[in-house]
Structures are given as C-alpha cells and as structure tokens.
Amino acid sequence: MGIWDYEPTDTASNSFDSTNALPGTSEKLDILAARLEKGLPLWHPSDRRTFDDNEATRSFSL
C-alpha cells in the first residue's frame, strides 16, 4: 500500500540541491523520486515552480 503519510526528518535546504526542472516533467519527477529514495524532503525552497521562474528570480535559502 505504500507510505501515505511520508514526512522526512528536517533537512537543511543547503544539504541538498534545488532543481531547475519544470513541474510535471519527467526530469522533475525523477528528481523527486531520487529525493524520496534518499529520505530527503520532496520540495526544496528554491525549486523552479513556473515556466517564468528562473535562477535569477528564485530566492535561495542557505
């Protein structure tokens, strides 16, 4: 049945990389799957969220 209430341990955002992959793409899904396998949070505060979002406009949390 899987783990439906997955909550990883608190992890500092500077201990794993953000992604520039667009939401919904196979690249983004692969990155989310890799994070899950490593026990990391699925979302990084600096992940790309929209088409117009880019590295210059994202806020980085270190």
- Domain range summary for the chain, segments of one domain joined by +: 15-48
Which is nearest to 46 in space by CA: 25, 21, 27? 21
Greatest distance between any 2 Cα atoms in the chain: 41
pLDDT value of position 25: 95
pLDDT above 80 for 61:
no
| Residue 4 CA: distances (Å) to CA of 1, 7, 20, 40, 57 | 8, 9, 27, 15, 33
| Residue 50 CA: distances (Å) to CA of 16, 21, 24 | 20, 10, 10
pLDDT value of position 9: 76
* Cut 0.85: pTM above it: no
